[in-house]
C-alpha cells in the first residue's frame, strides 16, 4: 500500500520538474536589454565581456545587436599614436544599440563614462613618460562626447596641447 502513494509522489514531482524546467531555462536567458546593460558598464570586466562578444558576434546574432562603427568618427582613431579604436567601437556600440531600443537619453551619461573608463585603461598600458599625454587626450575625447555627443568636437589644438605634455611624442 505504501508503494502506490510513493509512486504517485515520484510521478507528480517528475511531471512538475518537466513543466518547470523550460520555464526556468527561459528565465535564465538574459534579455537584449540585460545583455546590453552588462556590456556597457564602466568596469574592466564589463568591457572585457563586450570585447569577447565582439570577437564572437555569431553567438549573439539572435539578439540583433548593431556592431557597426566608424570608430572615433572624424577625430583621429590613434591620436599621437595612442590607439583609441577599440574604446571608440565600444562607445559606438552603446550609442547605436541604446538608440535602437529608444533608451539612449537615459543611458548616455553612463555610456560616456564607460568610454572614458575604457580610454583610461588603454592609457594605463603606455609608458609612464607618455601617459600624461594619453590621459589628456582621453579627457578631451570624453568631454567631446559628454558635452557635444560626438568626438568630432575635438580640435587639433587639443591634440597639440597633449603633445606638449610629453616631449618624446614631438620627435
Q: Is 90 a catalytic residue?
A: no
The rounded distance, in Å, linking the Cα atoms of 149 and 144 is: 7
Residue 149 has which C-alpha cell? 555627443
At residue 152 the predicted structure's pLDDT band, cuts being 50, 70 and 90, is confident
Selecting among 35, 47, 88, 91, the annotated active-site residue is: 91
The rounded distance, in Å, linking the Cα atoms of 142 and 87 is: 11
At residue 168 the predicted structure's pLDDT band, cuts being 50, 70 and 90, is confident
The rounded distance, in Å, linking the Cα atoms of 163 and 171 is: 10
Among residues 97, 138, 108, the alpha carbon closest in space to that of 120 is found at 138
Residue 96 has which C-alpha cell? 547605436
pLDDT of residue 161: 85
pLDDT of residue 19: 52
Residue 68 has which C-alpha cell? 557597426
Judge whether residue 98 has pLDDT over 90. yes
pLDDT of residue 144: 92
Instruction: Give the pTM.
Output: 0.80
The rounded distance, in Å, linking the Cα atoms of 66 and 120 is: 25
Angstrom CA distances, 117 to 44, 133, 139, stand at 8, 16, 10
Amino acid at each position: 500500500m505504501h508503494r502506490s502513494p510513493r509512486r504517485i509522489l515520484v510521478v507528480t514531482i517528475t511531471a512538475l520538474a518537466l513543466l518547470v524546467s523550460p520555464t526556468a531555462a527561459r528565465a535564465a536567458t538574459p534579455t537584449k536589454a540585460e545583455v546590453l546593460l552588462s556590456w556597457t558598464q564602466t568596469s574592466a570586466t564589463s568591457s572585457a565581456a563586450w570585447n569577447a562578444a565582439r570577437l564572437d558576434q555569431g553567438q549573439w546574432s539572435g539578439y540583433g545587436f548593431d556592431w557597426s562603427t566608424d570608430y572615433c568618427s572624424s577625430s583621429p582613431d590613434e591620436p599621437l599614436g595612442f590607439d583609441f579604436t577599440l574604446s571608440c567601437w565600444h562607445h559606438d556600440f552603446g550609442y547605436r544599440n541604446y538608440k535602437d531600443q529608444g533608451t539612449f537619453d537615459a543611458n548616455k551619461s553612463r555610456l560616456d563614462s564607460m568610454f572614458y573608463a575604457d580610454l583610461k585603461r588603454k592609457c594605463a598600458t603606455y609608458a609612464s613618460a607618455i601617459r600624461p599625454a594619453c590621459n589628456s587626450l582621453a579627457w578631451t575625447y570624453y568631454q567631446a562626447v559628454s558635452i557635444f555627443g560626438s568626438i568630432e568636437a575635438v580640435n587639433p589644438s587639443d591634440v597639440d596641447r597633449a603633445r606638449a605634455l610629453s616631449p618624446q611624442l614631438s620627435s
